[in-house]
Chain A
Amino acid sequence: MQNQSLRRNPPTWLPTTMSESEWQRLAPLALVFLVLTGTQKFVRENLFLFVGAGAGAAFLDWMGPRELLLGLLAVFLIIVASAMIYHRRFRFRLEDDAVRVRRGLLVRKELRIRFGRVQNIQLGQPFYFRPFGLVRFSLETPGATEKEVELPGIPMALAERMRDRIAGLAAVDTEQDEPAADRAEGHSDRTLFAAGSWRLFVHGLSSNQIWLLVGAFAYLFGTFSERVLRRLADTPVAEDIARTAPTGWLLWLGLLVFIAVGLFMLSGLLSLIRFHAFSLVDRDGRLVGVGGLLDRREQTVRRAKITGLTLRQTALGRLWGSWYLLVRQTRSGQDEMNGARQGFIVPGLRRDDTSLVGELVPGWQVPEQFALISARYRRRYWLLGLILFSVPLLMLSIWLGQGHPVVLLVGLGLAITTLITHLRYRRWGWALDKGQLWVRQGMLGQSLDVFELDRVQQAQVVQSPYQRRHQLANLNLILPQGTVSVPFLPLDDAAALANQALYAAETSMMHRV
């Protein structure tokens, strides 16, 4: 269904009958993609040099615009040249159960990905690929630090055939009656969820990217406001401002509201562009998410490769009643550091849509009630906060006097810490339903993790002296997608959960990852 909008007839210059077991090259247009991603990478990796400590403006002053342009041109040429070499050397080949890729600028690398290992198939179509029926095709395997195979710029039809072959082949494992080839053609699509534009906009309003935008704006404002104001001072507008000086605070308030509204709108629009016409489809048992305006992305995931789900609501999302869902899969140590990999996100959910969890993984449902952790968690951290703050508070109030702003600030810090402890305590919760464990955490927002106990890779039970005195423990369950922890459980509960997880992991022969 959604897929139709992606599909275009393959260009005539590329024969569709070309045998897929031959070494193949990327389409010429892939160069555009390589150059663009190369430029993007260059900007991302060197931005901090420019931005760092407001050096950008100083740098611009120091270097003439002509030199700057020349330098940028040189960089661009290098990027284009390396993209051309990369493109020239790039070859890929399909085998019965694997795909092989040869690539490399200086060192030639060869990569072979077995289809059985693939946990995520992505088809992306940047807008400039659309008229030519090309797509970017990438495969992800567990433990990979990056998408191991990315084929930018191959015909849509080929990519779709590869996708069906990879996902279809996997289906043969469990349903042997149906040959994969037959199934590949006629898809039985069932839409599980479709997000309207308004919901996607709201997703953007509540997304944490708003803080990023605020940061970027504050930086730009800090760097350029001085120049702008200096220039403004010479214009008649300055006189107008000077005349309204008595009501100046109103002006500033208005400006602030204006900026805030603008940033929210921007965040909403970014989300609209990113997820445009998002829909989640069940295609022959596989999960497919499609969305995006400028770069239409389609992600295919086999249910067996889902290691857990996360339902999340940001603090702002609570105002709007907006949730989103993350499909969790095995990840590498690298992700934890930079969080670079864009996961499988289902945006724009409402409270009632959280039942979608059961559609994604049959049998899963959001529990009505969560068991809370021990109230000693709150008491412990309240006490720690009190001790931590009271000493400086006492010393400062003797030194500076009780009404001093610094003293009030520290007092406020104490109050906020106390409140945060309370909020966090109230959010912590867990629920065990048959084999699935739900863990809830958060502060103003909340995050609900669910996984099957047999996915547990390691169980850790940790106790501090205080916890030992009160028969409590922290439980860390290490999962392929990361660690889920529950603090301050009664020791017997923690041990029982660990025992159950181990039993589940040891009796199930599946998922070594």
Chain B
Amino acid sequence: MTNSEVVFSNREVDPGELPDYRDVALQPVVAAYLPHALLTTGGFWAVVVTVALVAPRLPFIGLDLGWWPALMLVPAVWFTVLTWLDVRRRGWALREHDLIYRSGVIWRKTVIVPFARIQHVETASGPLERWFGLMRVKCFTAGGMMADLSVEGLDESLAQRVRQFLLEQIRDDAEPESSPQPTDLAADDHV
């Protein structure tokens, strides 16, 4: 007898007529994301390769592996190329009722989050991201750890606007029962 049943028992929907998420033209990520992604991935692997090359030659280890550790360059180049391809493929879009985010090169993943299911939104940026003027938008939904979507590759003003837009959407269709309200009061709350 809940509302949901009323909403659902009276609809017969032709799946073919529903809007298809695949038809949406996705926005590419901002240009500054490419150097950032390459720098983080390349930087990580540069450290790994350097350690692999230098560590055996340190006096207190004194292993002579020759140039074999240079083989580490193979995964380093591989992952850097993957990152480059990934950035070119990454995309996002806002529809009237949901947020679409696509990522991945080998395993290609598209995530669609309805605004009505977002519980809260936050923006985040690390030091390196700030250097490039980038910002992430994180959306949280119910359903555990897997349920947090992080939209990467937006610049700061864009991220702020997206966040603002999402917050407005959330507020619009919030119902009284689910309005954000702390259930857990701070320790010093009692009178």
Contact = CB atoms under 8 A, between A and B. Distances in A.
Contacts of A174: 1-3
Given A108-B190, A464-B107, A499 B3 contact: no
Contact of B107 (A435, A462, A483): A462
Nearest to B190: A110
A265 B142 CA distance: 40
A141 B178 CA distance: 12
A480 B119 CA distance: 12
Contacts of A482: 143-144
Interface in A101-116: 102, 104, 107-114, 116
A175 B5 CA distance: 14
Contacts of A164: none
Contact of A460 (B1, B109, B142, B175): B109
A44 interface: no
B4 A512 contact: no
Nearest to B96: A506
Contact of A458 (B104, B113, B173): B113
Interface string A86-108: 00000000000000001010011
A505 interface: yes
A496 B110 CA distance: 14
A237 interface: no
B19 to A, nearest CB: 7
Contact of A495 (B20, B145, B189, B190): B20
Contacts of B145: 333, 336
Contacts of A457: 113-114, 117, 141-143, 147
Contact of B147 (A175, A285, A478): A478
A510 B175 CA distance: 8
A116 B177 contact: yes
Nearest to A144: B183
Chain A interface, DSSP helix/strand/loop, else mixed = mixed
Contacts of B113: 457-458
Interface in A459-504: 459-465, 468, 476, 478-483, 495-496, 498-500, 502-504
Interface residues of A, number: 69
B111 interface: yes
Interface string A427-438: 000000011000
Interface residues on B, range: 35 or more
A336 B144 contact: yes
A316 B177 CA distance: 43
B185 interface: yes
Interface in B162-191: 173-175, 177-178, 181, 183-185, 187, 189-190
Contact of B111 (A109, A459, A507): A459
A452 interface: yes
Contact of A505 (B1, B106, B117): B117
Contact of A496 (B15, B117, B187): B15
A362 B13 contact: no
Given A463-B108, A496-B15, A458 B147 contact: yes
Given A434-B9, A457-B113, A458-B114, 4 more contacts: A454-B4, A496-B18, A499-B18, A510-B7
15 contacts: A102-B190, A110-B190, A332-B144, A335-B144, A452-B4, A457-B117, A457-B147, A463-B108, A463-B109, A495-B22, A496-B15, A505-B117, A506-B114, A510-B175, A513-B119
Interface of A: 102, 104, 107-114, 116-117, 141-143, 148, 173-175, 285, 303-304, 330-333, 335-336, 362-363, 434-435, 452, 454, 456-465, 468, 476, 478-483, 495-496, 498-500, 502-513
